[in-house]
Amino acid sequence: MATASYITALVRRLRSGDEVRVAEAAATLAHLSRSAENTPAIVAAGGIPALVKILSSDRSEAVHARLRSSSSEAVHIWAAAALGSLSSDSPENQAAIAATGVIPALCLHSGSDNLQVVAAGAVCSLAAGGRDYSAAIAAAGGIPALQQLHSSPSEVQQRDLVPGCRAVRYCSEACAHAHWPAHKPECRRLRRAAGASQP
């Protein structure tokens, strides 16, 4: 378990503006956030808003150009990983993270496949918090991105398939319910097509 003063110093580093210090602090916080013993201190030190600020920075072309650098991309990966860990099995942290408005930034994050997978993991962790977050994820356009990331049968078991069409996977039941109005016509079409192809 890390001390509260150490965690507070790390959160201050996130705000320093020095890309190397920010990357080191984000990586350390991501690792520390995996332990439930450290999450209260990270939250109390203001870690959630500091991590969110990294991910919610101006989505201008300059930011996208910076994301092409490995250190800037790493900062975003570590920030998304830390938020995912902080939201895991913690309704209070899920609410605090969702209240920051970061869901669209997580859902629409551009960058490498690694960054998209980590951001999707954070979104899945939030989706486990309930339908309110899943609705925000759906409104931000995150459901199709999550479906694409979970399309490999090796990653998601057959039980995660939509029962009707058996062609689409969701990270959680809450996301499936939130996306149902958009998926329903496609689901019906796929079921009809599957029925027509059977002898």
pLDDT in tens, 50-87: 999 998 865 444 444 444 455 678 888 889 889 988 98
Instruction: Supply the DSSP symbol for 197.
Output: H
pLDDT in tens, 80-129: 889 988 988 788 998 899 899 888 888 876 666 677 777 877 888 887 77
Report the residue count for the chain. Answer: 199
Q: Alpha-carbon dihedral of residues 61, 65, 67, 69, nearest 10 degrees? A: -170
Domains located in the chain, CATH noted = 4-197 (1.25.10.10)
Find all residues with CB under 8 Å of 61, minimum gap 6, and list them: none
3-state helix, strand, coil split of the chain in percent (to 5) is 70, 0, 30
pLDDT of 176 > 90? The answer is: no
